[in-house]
Structure 1
Amino acid sequence: MNSLFDGLLNLWQLAWVLPRGESALELAHPLVLALAPLPLLLTWRMKPYVTRVEALHAPFFAAIMQATGTDMHDGELILRRRWLERAVGILAWLALVVAATQPAWVDPPKEKILPARDLLLAIDISQSMDQKDFPADGGKLITRFEGVRQALDEFITRRSGDRLGLLVFANGAHLAVPFTLDHALLHELMAQTRTGMAGPRTMIGDAIGLGIRVFDASRAQAKVMILLTDGADTGSRIPPDTAARIAREHDITIHTIAIGTPTATGTDRVDTATLKSIAQLTGGRAALASRFGELQTVYAALDALETANHTRLTHRTRHPLFHWPLGFAVTLLLLWHLGEAVRVFATDVRAKRGVVVDVVAGEPRV
């Protein structure tokens, strides 16, 4: 019995969708349309309703019937409806049936992304990043920062499901873009960023410290930082290794990318040992890129390592339409009854005005 009830319930909940491009017309209860011929079936199968009333006994009944032109019958009088009255009833009934199906217009699908990862890009913009010694494709030399910017643009484009943030550092660390799904904003800010605008030094530890504070407001399941620099820490208030340990306590993974040559001396030397230690302490990866092709490979590897982690929700707005057929039925019936009232009133007025007195015959005549 329960299975039969469940089957009938599922059948009742069956919906029809009539697509029109990306939009659609939906009927929540299409089976209600089966009730459309119900009035015809009732008229065909059911007998007219009969009301018994007291008869008027008159010895001159036959003369009255003849004078009024009414045919004699067995005592039952079935009122015949006019074609207009039938049409109004049929249209009103069909409109009510359509309204009962709960029609709705469904808009094209809208997609919403719920990211599960926040990814912070920490980019070194010290003056050393302006050195034009970074081989691009074809052997042309470009600045280190220009190579980083081109590779980042490609990387950002592939991270459509993640919230991205941008942090730049030199003498100090500065949050350029908080976590956002508006990746076009990151492209624009990267294009406007210039090396040396935050000073000549490289504060790696301060950059990690600011990144930890940025992640404090994040509720993402995965927190990832990509740290890119071409130098060594030059006096951060918090040592890089200490900052990395604090990041690990906050469940932040740091991937490090070294730009330049580790064999250089002085300020041109990139501290790969510290960058490897930061990555190992936080469960990340350390990489070295001395040319543009290698940097692209590093970002591709990170893209594969930190796969897109998000949920796509599809929503389609429904606009109920049942009020239109319902309003049509109610308006049609109101207009019909109003018209009938006016017609009856006009008939009574004409009947009163049509009574004249025939002076010659001395009898009233219509």
Structure 2
Amino acid sequence: MLEFVFPWLFLLLPLPLLLRFLPEYLQQNQMVKVPFFNKLIEISGDKAKLGAKTQQPSRLQKSVLIISWLLFVLAAAKPQWLQDPIVQTKSARDLMVAVDASGSMATTDFKVASDNTVDRLTMVKSVLKSLAMERKNDRLGLIVFGSAAYLQMPFSEDHATWLTLLNETEIAMAGQSTVIGDAIGIAIKHFEESETKNRVLILLTDGNDAGSKVPPIDAAKIAASYGVKIYTIALGDPATIGERKLDSKTLKRIAELTGGNFYHAMDTSQLSQAYLNIAQLEPQTYDSISFRPKQSMHHIPLITLVIMNLCMVVYIRSRIKVKVPYDQ
């Protein structure tokens, strides 16, 4: 499909015709008529010669001029060809994952094949890898928290880099204790910059909050006001005591305030099931973006104009016969 960026320029097409009727164009210079011109020539003993004559353009030249003007206006109107529509789909959800990397995540109480056990962080990495592979169209972000919370990766569709940063996460790299409220706060900050309305935070921890600048419940209320849904996953034995005690009550309250769910995973199967439930509750959503590529065609009439006029110049030069008077 052909369209023009400046179609109003076609109003200039009759401009040369209008210029022809301007007063300056109609003005003619009067010549002096001498009735006895021939007698004067005879007296002078000279011979009469033909006067200067203005050569009028041929029909071919006039046609070339008209076509040149048409091509010039056509190029100025900037024609462009609209190609077939291209529809792209992208995820309509931003998914942030906050992983507890405190010292307690070194506890080896998750069973894998052959009754072997691995530490909690290793198991979390394994399950999150499956999550990233299944949600190829979601924009993923990663937060690691311990004594402080850090953004490892902002929202991105680059899942390979996301997995690399997740695999590089080490136990106690962010400190020994747990700041759940601060992790939620960092997530809120980056959700503020998100354009999508489908905002999900998955928070995994095996402890209780230890001195966050913003209490977890207050952070959850703020998250709810920004439309962030938080799914909390508690890891490990709830009977643990001391600083490593699992605060299931707070995690449940966080999920309730934001419209998410709370899950408790004491082994590998329960952790995998928690992610399956989240996947069912938060199916992948898509936004369709349709656009039509445009290819500018203005160079075609310009090239045609130049070639046509060059050919006309060559043709005229080949037809001109120059007569040079020679006096003996």
Q: Work out whether 1:212 is the aligned partner of 2:203.
A: no
Deviates more, 1:153-162 or 1:193-202: 153-162
* Structure 2 SS opposite 1:232: coil
Distance change in 2, residues 1:332/1:241 (3 Å): closer
Equivalent in the alignment of 2:267: 291
Deviation at 1:338, TM superposition (A): 1.2
**Contact 1:118 1:220 (C-alpha < 8 Å) held by counterparts:** yes
CA deviation map 1:183-236 (0-9, x unaligned): 333222112211111111122223223333333444431332111011222343
Q: Work out whether 1:130 is the aligned partner of 2:106.
A: yes
Residue ranges of structure 1 left out of the alignment (5+ in a row): 1-14, 16-26, 30-80, 358-366
Task: Letter of the 1:220 partner, please give it.
Answer: T
* Structure 2 SS opposite 1:313: strand
* Structure 2 SS opposite 1:299: helix
The correspondence of residues 269-308 of structure 1 with structure 2, limited to 5 A, is 269-308=245-284
**Contact 2:201 2:229 (C-alpha < 8 Å) held by counterparts:** yes
**Contact 2:87 2:288 (C-alpha < 8 Å) held by counterparts:** no
Task: Letter of the 2:314 partner, please give it.
Answer: G
Q: Work out whether 1:341 is the aligned partner of 2:312.
A: no
Distance change in 2, residues 1:213/1:342 (3 Å): closer
Task: Letter of the 2:163 partner, please give it.
Answer: H
Deviation at 1:112, TM superposition (A): 6.4
CA deviation map 1:77-126 (0-9, x unaligned): xxxx9xxx9xxx9xx99xx8xx99x674859958463x543322111001
Distance change in 2, residues 1:28/1:252 (3 Å): closer
**Contact 1:137 1:293 (C-alpha < 8 Å) held by counterparts:** no
Task: Letter of the 1:124 partner, please give it.
Answer: D
* Structure 2 SS opposite 1:195: coil
Deviation at 1:342, TM superposition (A): 1.2
**Contact 1:104 1:319 (C-alpha < 8 Å) held by counterparts:** yes
The correspondence of residues 306-325 of structure 1 with structure 2, limited to 5 A, is 306-321=282-297, 323-324=299-300
Deviates more, 1:224-233 or 1:333-342: 333-342
Task: Letter of the 1:343 partner, please give it.
Answer: S
Deviation at 1:257, TM superposition (A): 0.6
Distance change in 2, residues 1:339/1:154 (3 Å): same
Distance change in 2, residues 1:323/1:212 (3 Å): closer
Task: Letter of the 2:319 partner, please give it.
Answer: V
**Contact 1:123 1:168 (C-alpha < 8 Å) held by counterparts:** yes
Distance change in 2, residues 1:313/1:144 (3 Å): same
C-alpha separation in 2, matches of 1:328 and 1:217: 48
CA deviation map 1:265-291 (0-9, x unaligned): 445543322211221122110112223
* Structure 1 SS opposite 2:196: coil
Q: 2:304 aligns with which of 307, 321, 329?
A: 329
C-alpha separation in 1, matches of 2:141 and 2:310: 64
TM-score, length-normalised on structure 2?
A: 0.67
Equivalent in the alignment of 1:71: none
Task: Letter of the 1:338 partner, please give it.
Answer: V
The correspondence of residues 48-127 of structure 1 with structure 2, limited to 5 A, is 104=81, 106=83, 109=86, 111=88, 113=90, 115-127=91-103
**Contact 1:104 1:322 (C-alpha < 8 Å) held by counterparts:** no
CA deviation map 1:24-64 (0-9, x unaligned): xxx669xxxxxxxxxxxxxxxxxxxxxxxxxxxxxxxxxxx
How many residues are aligned here?
266
**Contact 1:228 1:257 (C-alpha < 8 Å) held by counterparts:** yes
TM-score, length-normalised on structure 1?
A: 0.61
C-alpha separation in 2, matches of 1:163 and 1:174: 18
**Contact 1:125 1:169 (C-alpha < 8 Å) held by counterparts:** yes
Residue ranges of structure 2 left out of the alignment (5+ in a row): 5-58
**Contact 1:130 1:144 (C-alpha < 8 Å) held by counterparts:** yes
Deviation at 1:160, TM superposition (A): 3.6
Q: 2:164 aligns with which of 178, 181, 188?
A: 188
* Structure 2 SS opposite 1:333: helix
Equivalent in the alignment of 1:198: 174
